[in-house]
């Protein structure tokens, strides 16, 4: 029915990541007696995999879903619900229409009505949104010339941290509605496509699609697949496939960050630092990369403090606070960094300066 050469592909990219936790090692004199041991224990704790690889295929629902066709599933974790959505203001210029935003909002409402337990709230702060959406009329922003939309998913150890949807215009409203539904499906954690063209999550959509936008709806299989992903018993699987990651600048930065995490895991902190710094320079907007770099700075600060190299420790702590303070979602880590720096200031006889950092560490 659909001629493949004229279809538009709908793509998704997973930006896998390995977020490190900031561990501000205690700066007590007692701990300084055995720095190596403490450091090793902390490192081991951090290098445990964030989640275990497990199949979430449920035999009861399998016939009604296309879980087995997917590369994997992830989800927005419970503590990030309701899902905050940010929609960029519609640019003025060729091809942009206000009705596209209406279609997009209708698509979100359709998901909310179809899936009990999942709800969306709109925010005007892109940084705090779990899903961000924007329209572009620049085909070059798609990873392939034939794409109608693209979703980039940034993960941390809890699951999806942020999904970024970009939709190419101009198209008919019904087409925009279908692309919106499809990309939201990816944004919610469907990693891959349905093999059935009756499902919204089929890999392509014809640019000739011409129906009432209200008729463009999720199929029962789309809905059941998402229900299975978000069901209490389902354990999101690890994304094994990161195909296409290298095609975007954000993806390339994440690849470098992941190389840094691998070096960190192997105990090569110098290489890890180099990689994280390179990744952060390439994409300072990615909170996971900032957390990785800031966390490593703080850990290196603690290690130097235990080795009684206070000057070096101070530089690392300051760098850590600087990087961690840039993203609101890294606030808890920034607090730990402030507490560690406050202890250092106290130990080096700067009580007045220490006070404000210790208070910041307590969230004041």
Interface residues toward Zn ion, by CB under 5 A? 10, 12
Contact 153, 14 (CB under 8 A): yes
To the nearest whole angstrom, how small is the minimum distance from the Cβ of residue 132 to Zn ion?
17
- The Cβ of residue 284 has, within 10 Å, a number of other Cβ atoms equal to 15
Q: How near is the Cβ of 193 to Zn ion at its closest, in Å?
A: 5
Of the two residues 189 and 361, which places its CB atom closer to Zn ion in the complex? 189
**Shortest distance, CB of residue 197 to Zn ion, whole angstroms?**
13
Query: From start to end of the chain, where are the E strands?
Result: 8-15, 72-73, 83-87, 120-122, 131-136, 147-156, 159-168, 190-191, 204-205
How does DSSP assign 252-274, residue by residue?
HHHHHHHHHHHHHHTT-HHHHHH
The residue nearest Zn ion at its CB is: 10
Question: Residue 200 or 296: which CB sits closer to Zn ion?
Answer: 200
Q: Minimum distance between the CB of residue 203 and Zn ion, rounded to whole angstroms?
A: 6
Contact 175, 209 (CB under 8 A): yes
Compute the least distance from the CB of residue 14 to Zn ion, in Å: 12
Return the number of the residue (173 or 183) whose C-beta is nearest Zn ion.
Answer: 183
Residue 179's CB: how many other CB atoms inside 10 A? Answer: 29
State the number of CA atoms in the 13 A half-sphere of 287 facing the CB.
24
- In the chain, % helix, strand, coil (3-state, to 5) comes to 50, 15, 35
- To the nearest whole angstrom, how small is the minimum distance from the Cβ of residue 267 to Zn ion? 39
Distance CA 174, CA 183 (A): 14
DSSP string, 165-226: EEEE-S--HHHHHHHHHHHHHHHTTEES-BS-TTSTTBSEE-TT--S-GGG----HHHHHHH
Please name which of 235, 98, 77 lies closest in space to residue 160, comparing C-alpha atoms: 77
Residue 299 burial by CB count (10 A; 0-12/13-18/19+): exposed, middle or buried? buried
Nearer to Zn ion, 12 or 297 (CB): 12
Which CB atom, from 10 or from 250, has the smaller least distance to Zn ion?
10
**Is 90 in contact with 96 (CB distance < 8 Å)?**
yes
Shortest distance in whole angstroms from residue 217 CB to Zn ion? 17
Query: Shortest Cβ distance from residue 226 to Zn ion (Å)?
Result: 14
Q: CB-based burial of residue 142 (10 Å sphere; 0-12 exposed, 13-18 middle, 19+ buried)?
A: buried
- Residue number with CB closer to Zn ion (10 or 272): 10
Closest CB 65 distance from Zn ion, rounded Å: 16
Distance, CA of 62 to CA of 66 (rounded, Å): 7
CB nearer to Zn ion: pick between 10 and 300: 10
Nearer to Zn ion, 10 or 209 (CB): 10
CB closer to Zn ion, 190 vs 306? 190
Q: Parallel, antiparallel, or unpaired for β 190-191 and 147-156?
A: unpaired
Q: Residue 278 and residue 72: Cα distance in Å, rounded?
A: 29
Nearer to Zn ion, 35 or 244 (CB): 244
- Give me the least distance between CB of 182 and Zn ion, in Å please: 6
Give residue for tokens 């890999």.
203
């Amino acid at each position: 029915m659909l001629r493949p050469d004229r279809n538009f592909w709908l793509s998704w990219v997973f930006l896998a990541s390995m977020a490190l936790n900031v561990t501000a090692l205690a700066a007590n004199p007692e701990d300084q007696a055995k720095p190596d041991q403490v450091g090793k224990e902390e490192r081991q704790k951090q290098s445990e995999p964030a989640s275990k690889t497990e199949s979430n295929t449920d035999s009861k629902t399998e016939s009604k879903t296309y879980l087995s066709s997917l590369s994997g599933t992830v989800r927005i974790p419970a503590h990030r619900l309701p899902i905050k959505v940010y929609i960029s203001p519609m640019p003025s210029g060729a091809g942009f229409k206000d009705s596209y935003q209406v279609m997009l909002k209708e698509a979100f409402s359709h998901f909310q009505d179809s899936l009990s337990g999942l709800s969306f709230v709109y925010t005007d702060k892109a940084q705090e949104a779990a899903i961000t959406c924007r329209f572009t009329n620049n085909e070059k922003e798609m990873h392939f010339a034939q794409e109608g939309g693209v979703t980039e998913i940034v993960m941390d150890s809890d699951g999806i941290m942020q999904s970024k949807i970009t939709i190419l215009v101009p198209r008919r409203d019904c087409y925009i509605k279908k692309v919106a539904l499809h990309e939201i499906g990816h944004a919610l954690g469907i990693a891959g496509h349905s093999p059935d063209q009756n499902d919204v999550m089929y890999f392509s959509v014809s640019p000739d699609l011409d129906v009432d936008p209200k008729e463009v709806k999720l199929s029962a299989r789309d809905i059941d697949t998402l229900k299975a992903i978000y069901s209490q018993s389902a354990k999101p699987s690890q994304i094994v496939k990161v195909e296409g990651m290298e095609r975007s600048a954000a993806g390339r930065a994440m690849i470098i960050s992941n190389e840094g995490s691998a070096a960190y895991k192997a105990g090569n902190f110098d290489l890890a630092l180099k990689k994280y710094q390179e990744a952060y320079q390439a994409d300072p907007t990615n909170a996971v990369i900032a957390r990785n770099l800031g966390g490593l700075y703080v850990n290196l600060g603690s290690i130097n403090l235990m080795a009684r190299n206070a000057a070096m420790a101070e530089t690392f702590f300051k760098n850590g606070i600087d990087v961690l303070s840039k993203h609101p979602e890294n606030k808890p880590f920034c607090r730990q960094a402030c507490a560690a720096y406050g202890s250092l200031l106290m130990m080096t006889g700067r009580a007045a300066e220490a006070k404000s950092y210790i208070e910041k560490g307590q969230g004041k």
